[in-house]
């Protein structure tokens, strides 16, 4: 049987990580892996999470299963964080998942159950795992223009033209904030135009929100998702706690199904429980428990929000520093977009050949499509990167 298996394509980011690890050059800079790092190159454990973990260790009395959809307290805390009072709680079904990726996969599963003919409209570019999962599941993908390689901003005209092909029942996959991999975001006026079009076409939005708090702030980063949830008859929201709580390895995520028809809630909730049972039965609880404790304790929540704000401001500072260094070296504002992008990532909008030149000649590691992780920089490496970009002719 196993001899019938075929080799799968290597994950490009994992391969890049291995190349970086094996590179002996002391000046090498890793901008490839999508994980937050501080100035020392470490992904730290947030102090509020540490405190909650200590409390949990002292208070926890069992390691028995939680429910199929996880602890209701986790769902409540996350729904409040992401949706606030945008919609009534009783119209939101929710299930804990193994990370944001688990939430994305379960969302696709729910879409396929509800409408096997649904086409998934996906931004070009998007997080590669979106496309990988959809391909594996055999779901039809339609790409819509998103990133303008000239302006390094959103190609909104192209996006709206492509979404004009939507049919009733199709799904539009949208990034709630801090678009991965480009860092370029829609403004709220543009979001409203997308909502109006989806309403007209009878399409269903699916939002992947993995970086709340990394862009313009916790409330600001949730604004678009709240607008969509409040405006559309139905929507799906896949959320991750990996980044804003720094608990990558705990695999903590949540899938929400919002329906303005309150009578639909029970069926949606039952479907989420069924899907969890089929895929992994009970979701992991440790990370979800920590998130719940942090969000429900006013002191821990304040500490967490303060530390998250430091992370956000640090990345904004690195963005501005890099844009300034490039402006000084080129005498041009063509890299000003770096300061305007939000989140961990920016896309330089250059060619794979020049990305390879940066790696080969300057030990700068980034994904071939020129996505770079801003959090992989620090005050010392920003000028090095800026000079490399200039010398490589990016």
Query: Active-site residues: which are they?
Result: 127, 208, 210, 243
d(CA 69, CA 255): 10
CB 68 within 8 A of CB 282: yes
Question: Which residue's structure tokens are 């929540």?
Answer: 301
* Kind of pairing between the strands at 153-154 and 147-148: antiparallel
Using alpha carbons only, what angle is made at residue 113 by residues 110 and 118, rounded to the nearest 5 degrees? 90
Distances (CA, A) of 350 to 99, 267, 369, 388: 31, 47, 7, 14
d(CA 56, CA 68): 21
CB 39 within 8 A of CB 378: yes
d(CA 232, CA 203): 9
Distances (CA, A) of 390 to 320, 331, 359, 362: 17, 11, 14, 11
Take residue 382 and report the two structure tokens written for it.
């920003």
Non-local (6+) Cβ contacts of 328 within 8 A are none
d(CA 180, CA 344): 8
């Amino acid at each position: 049987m196993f001899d019938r298996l075929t080799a799968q394509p290597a994950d490009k980011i994992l391969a890049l990580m291995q190349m970086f690890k094996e590179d002996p050059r002391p000046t090498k800079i890793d901008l490839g892996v999508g994980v937050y790092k501080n100035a020392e190159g470490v992904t730290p454990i947030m102090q509020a999470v540490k405190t909650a973990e200590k409390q949990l260790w002292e208070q926890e009395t069992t390691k028995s299963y939680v429910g199929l959809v996880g602890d209701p307290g986790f769902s409540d805390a996350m729904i409040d964080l992401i949706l606030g009072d945008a919609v009534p709680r009783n119209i939101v079904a929710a299930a804990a998942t193994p990370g944001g990726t688990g939430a994305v996969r379960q969302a696709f599963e729910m879409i396929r159950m509800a409408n096997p003919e649904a086409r998934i409209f996906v931004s070009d570019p998007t997080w590669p795992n979106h496309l990988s999962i959809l391909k594996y599941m055999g779901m039809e993908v339609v790409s819509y223009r998103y990133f303008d390689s000239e302006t390094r901003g959103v190609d909104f005209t192209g996006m709206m033209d492509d979404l004009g092909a939507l049919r009733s029942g199709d799904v539009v996959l949208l990034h709630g904030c801090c678009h991965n991999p480009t860092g370029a975001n829609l403004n709220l006026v543009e979001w409203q135009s997308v909502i109006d079009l989806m309403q007209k076409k009878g399409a269903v939005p699916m939002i992947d929100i993995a970086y709340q708090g990394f862009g313009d702030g916790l409330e600001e980063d949730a604004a678009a998702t709240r607008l969509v949830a409040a405006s559309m008859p139905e929507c799906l929201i896949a959320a991750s706690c990996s980044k804003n709580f720094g608990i990558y390895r705990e695999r903590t995520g949540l899938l929400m199904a919002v329906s303005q028809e309150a009578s639909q809630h029970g069926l949606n909730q039952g479907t989420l429980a069924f899907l969890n049972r089929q895929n992994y039965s009970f979701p992991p609880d440790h990370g979800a428990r920590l998130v719940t404790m942090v969000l429900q304790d006013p002191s821990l929540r304040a500490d967490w929000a303060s530390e998250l704000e430091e992370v956000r401001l640090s990345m904004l500072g690195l963005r501005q520093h890099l844009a300034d260094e490039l402006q000084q070296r080129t005498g041009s504002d063509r890299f000003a977009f770096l300061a305007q992008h939000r989140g961990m990532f920016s896309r330089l909008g250059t060619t794979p050949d020049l990305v390879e030149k940066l790696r080969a000649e300057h030990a700068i590691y980034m994904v071939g499509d020129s996505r770079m992780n801003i959090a992989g920089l620090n005050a010392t490496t920003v000028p090095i990167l800026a000079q490399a970009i200039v010398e490589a002719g990016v």
